[in-house]
Structure formats: C-alpha cells, structure tokens
Amino acid sequence: MLTAQEIEELQQENDELKKQNILMQNKVIKVEQIKEVAPPNYHSDMQRLKQLELRCKKLQKFMDYGNISGLQTLIEQFMAYSRTQLKKISIELQMSEYGDSENDVLKEFVEYLDHIRQELHSFIDFQEKSLKSPVLNQCEEIMSGIIDDFTKPESFNDLSEAKLKELFYTLQTFRQIIQQYKEENR
C-alpha cells in the first residue's frame, strides 16, 4: 500500500505532466535529428540482393542469346556422352596391348578429368564462400591444399623416415586440436 506522502508525490507529478501536456499541445516540436536504424540483417540482405540482381542480369543475357539449355539438361547430356566414350575407351584398352605409352595417355586423361572436377568445384566453392566467414574460407582453402597434397602419394616419396615421422606427429597433434575445437562448440 502507498503511504499518504507517496500518493501526494504521485498526484503532484501527475499534475506537472498534465501541465506539460497542455503546453505541448499548443507548441510545434522541433526535430533536431532523425536517427536511421537499419533492420536486423539489413546489410547481409542487401548484399544478397545485389548478388541476386547480378545473377538475374547474367541469366537475362543468356536468355537473350537463345539456345541455352538448363544446367540439368547440359549435365545430363554430358554424362550420357561421357558414358558412351568411356565404354569405347574401356573396350579399346581391353582389346589392345597395354603399354607405357597407353599408360601415359591414361595419366593425361585422368589429369584432364581432375582439372574438370576442380573447375566444377570452383563454382560450388564460390557460391558457398559467399555465404561463409572469410576466415573459415581461408581455413578451407588450406585444408583443401593439404588434402590435394595427400592425394598425390608421389609428394612424399622423397621424404626421409625421420621427416615422415615428424609429419605424422604434426598431423596427429593437428587432429587433436581440431577435435578439441569441435568438442568446445557442442
């Protein structure tokens, strides 16, 4: 319950506010500054909007040129053609004598296919990178380079046993650190 003194203070405050309200009704309020407040995610939404507008312009250019099939159609056509060609290559390899020169040609072909894979992944990576943190992108680039190094066994043929052990222990420590980060983020 309020005391008599608190009630009187509240009534006085109420009377003062009423007087101020009456005075304010007859006055023009001068605005000195208007502060602009961006909605949440405004900047990321604007960046995404610019990306989508650019994509729309590119698609419009493709449509203007005509005879452009959809991505899925192009991929399906490429896969169908490549299957028939790979069957022909397989039959040729089985029917002919297989030697060093054929092995070299096959290595070049595999490198070419790897190049195609890398090109296609670059499109995927570009899209994914635009949505991620720049530091995370840098970490993924380093990891990708490491993985590429390890997928080529010849990269380590010239290392001494001591260097290989050092590499093993470094990788083991690295893996433990990664596991710690993952556990901390759970």
Q: What is the pLDDT of residue 93?
A: 83
Alpha-carbon distance 135 to 15, whole Å? Answer: 60
pLDDT in tens, 139-179: 878 888 888 777 776 767 777 888 888 888 888 888 888 88
Q: Enter the tokens of residue 133.
A: 């943190």
- Other CB atoms closer than 10 Å to residue 137's CB: what's the count? 15
Which of 49, 46, 67 has the alpha carbon at shortest distance from 57? 49
Sign of CA dihedral 42, 47, 49, 50: positive
Looking at 7-121, which runs of residues are DSSP E strands? none
Which run of H or of E encompasses 118? helix 100-129
Predicted TM-score (pTM) of this structure: 0.37
Q: Enter the tokens of residue 141.
A: 């680039």
pLDDT in tens, 161-170: 888 888 888 8
Gap between the terminal Cα atoms of the chain: 50
Q: What is the pLDDT of residue 148?
A: 79
- Delimit the domains of the chain by residue range: 157-186
